[in-house]
């Protein structure tokens, strides 16, 4: 009789532990599948509010760009909160120019700019993108002349026609940077393999994966510090 009670208790305990175990993993899966629901991304206005109210002691470094920049966790990669990311998904060079005008009022120590890919995807003329880069350079040199400006080459994609435009764009802005005395960081070929972006560095043929961001950091860390 006692032995039967023990067996029932043991069975009940085992079933309970199994239920807890299954519930834990089901809950964990629900959490990660709905990660964005539990951790909603801040809105554009919220990000600007945080940035414009953040500390700036003259050593602030700001990254401006597209969703490719937005995915670059610069504060973590360079281990300092003074390096800030104001890249936004969907940004064209026109949007980046507008954002730059908000940033330079803070007289940051350095600014890194990445942009152009969305212009070409949205069929915006290449000359417009180049013009906007020139306007960015003028704005910094006029309104915050002590800020060190870095224009970064646009990354290749897995689309040949788009890559042809990107390649020509990079050549144009590199020439302009040389003419204007601005730093140009050419990373294009480091991400290229057989005429397209190296598949080991990208999530979808455009956006970078963790390895891609590692390569990006390695390419620019000497300029960031």
CATH assignment of the domain containing 77: 3.40.50.1110
Query: Are 87 and 147 part of one and the same domain?
Result: yes
Q: Are 51 and 22 contained in the same domain? A: no
pLDDT, the chain, mean: 87
The reply to whether 80 and 180 lie within a common domain is yes
Q: Are strands 110-113 and 148-152 parallel, antiparallel or unpaired?
A: parallel
Looking at the structure, tell me whether residues 99 and 15 fall in a common domain. Answer: no
Considering the domain architecture, whether residues 169 and 186 belong to the same structural domain is answered as yes
pLDDT tens digits for range 144-186: 999 999 999 999 999 999 999 999 999 999 999 999 999 999 9
The pLDDT value given to residue 56: 87
pLDDT digits 0-9 by tens, 84-105: 999 999 999 999 999 999 999 9
Position 178 scores a pLDDT of: 97
How many angstroms separate the CA atoms of 42 and 200, rounded?
29
Q: What's the domain range around 170?
A: 43-224
Report CA-CA distances (Å) from 167 to 76, 119, 139, 153, 160: 30, 14, 25, 9, 10
92 and 18 both lie in a single domain: no
Q: Is the pLDDT of residue 28 over 50?
A: no
Edge-to-edge strand ranges of the sheet holding 110-113: 83-87, 61-65, 110-113, 148-152, 183-185
Same-domain status, 126 and 22: no
Q: Are residues 125 and 187 in the same domain?
A: yes
Q: Are residues 96 and 25 in the same domain?
A: no
Does 26 share its domain with 52? no
pLDDT at 168: 96
**CB atoms inside a 10 Å sphere around CB 158:** 15
pLDDT value at residue 207 = 97
Per the structure, the count of domains in the chain is 2
- Alpha helices per DSSP H over the chain: 2-33, 35-38, 44-52, 67-70, 74-77, 93-103, 117-121, 126-143, 160-180, 210-224
pLDDT number for residue 38: 42
Q: What is the per-residue DSSP string for 43-81? A: PHHHHHHHHHTS--SS--EEEEESHHHHT--HHHHTT-T
167 and 79 share one domain: yes
What pLDDT score was predicted for residue 58? 86
Residue 39 has pLDDT above 60, yes or no: no
- Distance between CA atoms of residues 165 and 116, nearest Å: 10
The stretch 126-150 carries a mean pLDDT of: 98
pLDDT tens for each residue of 199-210: 999 999 999 999
pLDDT in tens, 57-89: 889 999 999 999 999 999 899 988 899 999 999
Tokens of 215: 């390569």
Whether 24 has a pLDDT exceeding 50, the answer reads: no
CB-based contacts of 153: which residues, under 8 Å, 6+ apart? 170, 173, 174, 184, 185, 186, 187, 188
84 and 190 in a single domain? The answer is yes
Which residues are CB-contacts of 60 (< 8 A; sequence separation ≥ 6)? 82, 83, 84, 106, 108, 109, 110
């Amino acid at each position: 009789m006692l032995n039967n009670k023990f067996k029932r208790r043991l069975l009940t305990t085992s079933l309970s532990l199994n239920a807890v175990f299954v519930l834990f993993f089901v809950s964990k899966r629900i959490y990660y599948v709905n990660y964005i629901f539990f951790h909603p991304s801040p809105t554009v206005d919220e990000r600007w509010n945080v940035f414009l109210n953040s500390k700036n002691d003259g050593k602030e470094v700001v990254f401006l760009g597209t969703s490719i920049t937005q995915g670059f966790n610069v504060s973590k990669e360079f281990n300092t909160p003074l390096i800030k990311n104001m890249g936004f998904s969907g940004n064209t060079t026109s949007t980046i120019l507008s954002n730059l005008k908000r940033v330079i009022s803070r007289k940051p120590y350095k600014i890194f700019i990445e942009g152009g890919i969305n212009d070409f995807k949205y069929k915006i003329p290449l000359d417009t993108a180049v013009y906007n880069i020139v306007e960015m350079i003028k704005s910094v040199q006029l309104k915050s002349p002590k800020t060190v400006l870095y224009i970064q080459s646009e990354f290749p994609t897995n689309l040949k026609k788009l890559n042809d435009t990107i390649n020509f764009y990079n050549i144009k802005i590199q020439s302009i940077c040389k003419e204007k005395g601005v730093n140009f960081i050419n990373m294009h070929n480091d991400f290229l393999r057989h005429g397209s972006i190296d598949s080991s560095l990208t999530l979808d043929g455009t956006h970078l994966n963790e390895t891609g961001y590692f390569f990006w950091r390695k390419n620019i860390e000497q300029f960031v510090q």
